[in-house]
């Protein structure tokens, strides 16, 4: 099954909902114009569909292998990686100062969607390199940056993030890896697990960013530092030297993303792995938090991307698979299953939620660009507030929805979907990790309620609600949209008020409600953006501009979203307000 | 050596072409457009000749509406040096295209013109040949291999019976076939650089050439739908149908 990037919808979201032109006029981003962005997306789409997508299945069936102590990537991975970095795609939004292209994160997000949709297992490698580069750029010394950054930007070396240990998953305070000072560097000892692309054969060197404790560091999260540990030591002239004392012990056998090697890395089996402190001691977790927004957004985009791929596959299958006759007819030709209403229901659910997720994920990216590049400080802070509030929603809602839609993709295929050869099952399996890594949905929901709602007493939430109340969906001529939309905003507002109050009575209540509260936010923000799409489409149509059929469809998917998705907010509000005390009702021993 | 590469903006090869409701042509409004694939092969070949040191400058030419600039920019992002758009809203047929190109060849003095053997929208397969004739140059059509030896061009052509190798004097017009090369993917930094490359726009009317259409299109329609076959019960019935219904025997 092939992948074709949905360029028309991507450009619609970028231009009509995310103010691409405004973002391109920000200081530091003016090299980009909407026309140029369009050319970039078109070329990226070619790489995605012609280079990466054809390898997706190979990655799944063959998988990464651990042979003779070395990790071997699936056939074709090396050539694809070469094509990818030679094309300059590794450094799309990275600063020109280090060899990047300085494109807005908004444009990079659309490109990222294509990488993940075409081949998520492959895309994880550049994604992790990006995160490691961000950490180094923000906190590393000039000497470290000069030695490592340019080669990571070019893709000559890749990067990894080493946080998790077997006893330290969601709770990083339990990190035990030791870092002992040794002259101008440190020696690291310990074991890290779940390291994506922790070892591979795509590049000569790999740069690990590792969380560890120095001797006498305080207990818990305040005693964790960040270190840069290269796989091969780098000589003073920049050339690659002796192997460092770090090795891949094994790779995991996983439910999905088989092409991406998930490694157990052992540090310091012999003399200790040479590591260099990034920033200051004991600041490691603070640094992680700075990057977390970007990393969590990127995983949210994975949820969106897999759902798009699953949708394309399901729609194409539904158009080909012939079963049964149209309802109400007993003779005549059998038809493809897309003619049956229940199959349509599934495809429409997939389609409208994908559109809503895309709008949300891109909106976040536009806000991120404004929060980092806008000349006015107040505006930067306002955009930052949006970024902070939306981060757990992008990550939590887009990945939960991505799973739901990949599952629907299998369902559209019927029995054929349960068969691996069809390919629908791979998307379902690949999507499954997205609600887990980079903070589970539970962690996102806790972040939304604890840090984003309760900490500022609901200020950001109220600001967002006010913004969302400013539009009138009725103008798009969709039946009942106004009523459903206003109800959904009321539901969200009431749930928000209740949470603020309940938190003072019993701290368990917001935690018990948090998952549903995150879902409620996702559905309502999605509704807001679908309403905005419908309004923008209506405006274009009235002006007689562009592709009328496309705009008609945008209005139809918005209408479906309103009646089938947004209408569910009242149930969520009820669950939150009336059902939260049921969550902890049984005693532990009753389970 | 300077190479001129004429390219055409056409409906993207992935798009299912639809006939306009008034049957005057195919629908191009709101349809994804891109470079004619054979022309892309021509651009790629020119760039390879430049990379090999055979060519110094590559000039891209397109004739058509102002959006053809995007197609020219794609060629510039692939690696060509500069572009010329001969702008017109009118439909331009192969003879007119050849005349315009002749005019540009006289102005630019390239030693080689490489273009696609045909455009995938009208499948005319005429422009290269017409241009060579108008210029009085040698021509090598349907090229699947190019080699330069001592001021001559050794060119392998894909013909019905197999491969034909010809030796051409320069200057020459070459048209490309599918197997000449595989066009490269555009590199991201080159998309940024292409934005700054020179692109001149010349109104077609200013050239003073006779570009009137010589062929009048009466009607464009979809090919007839193939009808389902039937099973016959006997050889006799088959022969009867072939004789009396199909009237082929």
Mean pLDDT by 10 residues, chain A (591 residues): 92 97 95 93 96 96 95 97 95 80 94 98 96 93 95 95 93 93 96 97 97 94 96 94 96 97 96 96 90 92 98 97 90 92 98 98 97 96 96 98 98 97 96 96 97 95 96 75 94 97 93 97 98 94 92 95 96 96 94 96
How far is the C-alpha of A467 from the C-alpha of A455, rounded, in Å? 20
Instruction: Work out the number of other CB atoms within 10 angstroms of the CB of residue A114.
Output: 28
Q: What is the pLDDT of residue A474?
A: 72
Q: Residue A51 and residue B185: Cβ atoms within 8 Å?
A: yes
Q: Find tokens 């030791």 and name the residue.
A: A178
Residue B194 with chain A: CB contacts under 8 Å: 39
For the record, the structure tokens of B150 come out as: 């001592």
Q: Residue A87 and residue B70: Cβ atoms within 8 Å?
A: no
The SS3 call for residue A390 is: helix
Q: Residue B191 and residue A36: Cβ atoms within 8 Å?
A: yes
In this complex, the residue of B14, B70, B187 whose CB is nearest that of residue A87 is B187
Q: Residue B188 and residue A46: Cβ atoms within 8 Å?
A: no
How far is the C-alpha of A21 from the C-alpha of A24, rounded, in Å? 5
Beta-strand relationship, A185-196 and A262-267? antiparallel
Alpha-carbon distances of A58 from A383, A425, B72, rounded to whole Å: 41, 14, 36
Please tell me the distance in Å from A40's CA to the nearest CA on chain B: 7
Cα dihedral A550, A553, A554, A555, rounded to 10, equals 130
Contact between B158 and B177 (Cβ < 8 Å): yes
Q: What is the mean pLDDT of each run of 10 residues along chain B (249 residues)?
A: 97 90 88 95 97 96 96 97 97 96 97 97 95 97 92 93 94 97 95 95 96 91 87 93 89
Output DSSP code: residue A434: G
Q: What is the pLDDT of residue B246?
A: 86
Cα dihedral A313, A314, A317, A321, rounded to 10, equals 170
Residues 6+ apart with CB under 8 A from A290: A138
Q: Residue B32 and residue A7: Cβ atoms within 8 Å?
A: yes
Cα dihedral A532, A536, A542, A548, rounded to 10, equals -110
Please tell me the distance in Å from A202's CA to the nearest CA on chain B: 20
User: What mean pLDDT value characterizes chain B?
Assistant: 94
Please tell me the distance in Å from B110's CA to the nearest CA on chain A: 29
In this complex, the residue of B29, B30, B191 whose CB is nearest that of residue A43 is B191
Q: Find tokens 């390291």 and name the residue.
A: A195
Residues 6+ apart with CB under 8 A from A345: none
Q: What is the pLDDT of residue A92?
A: 87
Contact between A448 and A390 (Cβ < 8 Å): no
Beta-bridged to residue A196, according to DSSP, are A262
**B196 — contact with chain A (CB < 8 Å)?**
no
How far is the C-alpha of B22 from the C-alpha of B186, rounded, in Å? 38
How far is the C-alpha of A79 from the C-alpha of A81, rounded, in Å? 5
Q: Which CATH class is domain B2-224?
A: alpha beta
Q: What is the pLDDT of residue A97?
A: 80
Residue A11 with chain B: CB contacts under 8 Å: none
Q: Find tokens 């040096």 and name the residue.
A: B81
CATH 2.40.40.20 fits A156-282, yes or no: no
For the record, the structure tokens of A564 come out as: 């089938």
Please tell me the distance in Å from B196's CA to the nearest CA on chain A: 11
**Helix (H), strand (E) at residue A351:** helix A341-373
- Interface subset of B 125-154, CB within 8 angstroms of A: none
How far is the C-alpha of B240 from the C-alpha of B229, rounded, in Å? 16
How far is the C-alpha of B180 from the C-alpha of B157, rounded, in Å? 10
Closest-approach residue (CA) in chain B for A38: B70
Closest-approach residue (CA) in chain A for B74: A39
Q: What is the pLDDT of residue B237?
A: 93
Q: Residue A547 and residue B189: Cβ atoms within 8 Å?
A: no
In this complex, the residue of B30, B187, B192 whose CB is nearest that of residue A547 is B30
Q: Find tokens 């492959």 and name the residue.
A: A122
Probe site for chain A from B31, B192, B195 (most A CB atoms < 10 A): B192
In this prediction, does ipTM exceed 0.95? no
**B74 — contact with chain A (CB < 8 Å)?**
yes
**B27 — contact with chain A (CB < 8 Å)?**
no
Q: Residue A46 and residue B14: Cβ atoms within 8 Å?
A: no
Residues 6+ apart with CB under 8 A from B57: B2, B3, B50, B81, B82
Q: Note the residue count of chain A.
A: 591
Residues 6+ apart with CB under 8 A from A377: none
Q: What is the pLDDT of residue A1?
A: 56
Instruction: Domain ranges for chain B, please list them.
Output: 2-224
Probe site for chain A from B29, B188, B195, B199 (most A CB atoms < 10 A): B188
- Model pTM greater than 0.90? yes
Closest-approach residue (CA) in chain B for A100: B189
CATH of A7-151, one of 2.40.10.10, 1.20.1250.20, 1.10.540.10, 3.40.1160.10: 1.10.540.10
Output DSSP code: residue A451: I
Closest-approach residue (CA) in chain A for B188: A88
SS (H, E, C) chain B: CEEEEEECEEECCCCCCCECCCCCCECCCCCCEEECHHHHHHHHHHHHHHHCCCCCEEEEEEEECCCHHHHHHHHHHHCCCEEEEEECCCCCCHHHHHHHHHHHHHHHCCCEEEEECCCCCCCCCCHHHHHHHHHCCEEEEEEEEEEEECCEEEEEEEECCEEEEEEEECCEEEEECCCCCCCCCCCHHHHHHHCCCCEEEEEHHHHCCCCCCCCCCCCCCCCCCCCCCCCCCCHHHHHHHHHHCCCCC
Burial class (CB in 10 A: 0-12, 13-18, 19+), A256: buried
Please tell me the distance in Å from B30's CA to the nearest CA on chain A: 5
Residue A550 with chain B: CB contacts under 8 Å: 30
Q: Which residues of A have a CB under 8 Å from any CB of B?
A: 4, 7, 31, 33, 35-36, 39-40, 42-43, 46-47, 50-51, 83, 86-89, 92, 101, 546-547, 549-550
Helices (H), A2-104: 7-12, 20-24, 34-47, 56-62, 77-86
Closest-approach residue (CA) in chain A for B15: A4
Beta-bridged to residue A188, according to DSSP, are A179, A273
Catalytic residues of A: 438
Please tell me the distance in Å from A4's CA to the nearest CA on chain B: 10
């Amino acid at each position: 099954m092939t992948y074709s990037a949905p360029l028309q919808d991507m450009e619609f979201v970028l231009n009509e909902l995310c103010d691409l032109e405004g973002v391109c006029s920000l200081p530091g981003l003016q090299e980009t114009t909407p026309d140029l962005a369009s050319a970039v997306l078109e070329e990226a789409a070619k790489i995605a569909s012609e280079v990466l997508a054809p390898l997706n299945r190979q990655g799944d069936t063959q998988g990464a292998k651990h042979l003779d102590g070395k990790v071997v990537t699936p056939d074709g991975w090396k050539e694809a990686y070469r094509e990818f970095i030679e094309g300059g795609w590794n450094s799309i939004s990275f600063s020109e100062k280090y060899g990047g292209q300085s494109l807005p994160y908004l444009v990079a997000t659309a490109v990222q969607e294509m990488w993940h949709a075409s081949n998520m297992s492959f895309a994880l490698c550049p994604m992790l390199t990006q995160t490691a580069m961000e950490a180094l750029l923000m906190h590393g010394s000039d000497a470290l940056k000069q030695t490592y950054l340019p080669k990571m930007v070019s893709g000559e070396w890749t990067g990894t993030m080493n946080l998790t240990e077997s006893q330290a998953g969601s709770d990083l305070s339990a990190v035990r890896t030791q870092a002992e000072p040794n002259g101008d560097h440190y020696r690291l000892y310990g074991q890290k697990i779940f390291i994506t692309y922790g070892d591979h054969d795509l590049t000569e060197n790999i740069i690990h960013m590792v969380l560890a404790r120095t001797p006498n560091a305080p207990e818990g999260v305040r005693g964790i530092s960040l270190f840069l540990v290269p796989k091969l030591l780098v000589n003073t002239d920049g050339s690659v030297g002796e192997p460092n004392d770090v090795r891949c012990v094994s790779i995991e056998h996983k439910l999905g993303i088989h092409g991406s090697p998930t490694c157990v890395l052992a540090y310091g089996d012999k003399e200790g792995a040479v590591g260099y402190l990034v920033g200051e001691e004991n600041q490691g977790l603070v640094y992680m938090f700075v990057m977390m927004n970007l990393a969590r957004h990127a995983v949210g985009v994975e949820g969106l991307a897999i759902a798009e791929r699953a949708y394309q596959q399901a729609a194409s299958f539904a158009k080909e698979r012939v079963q049964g006759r149209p309802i109400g007819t007993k003779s005549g030709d059998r038809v493809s299953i897309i003619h049956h209403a229940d199959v349509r229901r599934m495809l429409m659910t997939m389609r409208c939620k994908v559109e809503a997720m895309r709008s949300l994920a891109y909106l976040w990216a536009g806000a991120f660009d404004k929060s980092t590049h806008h000349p006015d400080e107040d505006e930067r802070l306002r955009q930052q507030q949006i970024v902070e509030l939306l981060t757990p929603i992008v990550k939590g809602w887009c990945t939960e929805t991505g799973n739901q839609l990949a599952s629907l993709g299998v369902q559209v295929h019927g029995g054929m979907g349960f068969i691996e050869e069809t390919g629908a099952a791979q998307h379902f399996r690949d999507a499954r990790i997205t609600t887990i890594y980079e903070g589970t949905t539970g962690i996102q929901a806790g972040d939304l309620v604890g840090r984003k709602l309760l900490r500022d007493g609901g200020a950001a939430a109220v600001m967002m609600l006010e913004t969302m109340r400013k539009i009138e969906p009725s103008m798009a001529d969709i039946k009942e949209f106004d009523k459903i939309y206003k109800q959904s905003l009321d539901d969200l507002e009431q749930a928000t008020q209740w949470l603020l109050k309940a938190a003072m009575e019993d701290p368990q209540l917001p935690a018990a409600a948090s998952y549903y509260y995150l879902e409620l936010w996702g559905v309502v923000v999605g509704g807001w953006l679908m309403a905005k799409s419908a309004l923008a489409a209506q405006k274009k149509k009235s002006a007689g501009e562009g592709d009328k059929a496309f705009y008609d469809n945008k209005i139809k998917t918005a209408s479906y979203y309103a009646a089938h998705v947004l209408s569910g907010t009242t149930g969520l509000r009820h669950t939150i307000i009336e059902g939260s005390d049921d969550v902890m009702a049984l005693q532990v021993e009753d389970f | 050596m300077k190479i001129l590469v004429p390219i055409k903006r056409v409906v993207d090869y992935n798009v299912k072409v639809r006939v306009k409701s008034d049957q005057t042509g195919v629908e191009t409004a709101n349809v994804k457009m891109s470079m004619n694939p054979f022309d892309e092969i021509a651009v790629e070949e020119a760039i390879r000749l430049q990379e090999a040191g055979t060519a110094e400058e590559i000039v891209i030419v397109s004739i058509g509406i102002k959006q053809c600039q995007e197609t020219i920019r794609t060629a510039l992002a692939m690696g060509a040096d500069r572009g010329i758009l001969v702008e017109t809203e009118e439909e331009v047929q192969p003879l007119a295209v050849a005349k315009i190109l002749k005019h540009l060849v006289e102005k630019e003095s390239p030693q080689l013109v490489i273009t696609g053997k045909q455009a995938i929208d009208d499948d005319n397969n005429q422009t290269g040949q017409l241009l060579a004739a108008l210029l009085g140059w040698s021509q090598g059509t349907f090229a699947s291999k190019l080699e330069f030896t001592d001021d001559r061009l050794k060119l392998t052509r894909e013909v019905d019976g197999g491969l034909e190798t010809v030796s051409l004097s320069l200057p020459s017009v070459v048209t490309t076939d599918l197997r000449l090369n595989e066009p490269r993917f555009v590199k991201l930094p080159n998309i940024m650089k292409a934005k700054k490359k020179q692109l001149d726009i010349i109104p077609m009317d200013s050239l003073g050439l006779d570009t009137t259409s010589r062929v009048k299109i009466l009607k464009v329609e979809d090919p007839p739908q193939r009808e389902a076959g039937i099973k016959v019960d006997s050889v006799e019935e088959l022969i009867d149908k072939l004789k009396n219904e199909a009237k082929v025997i």
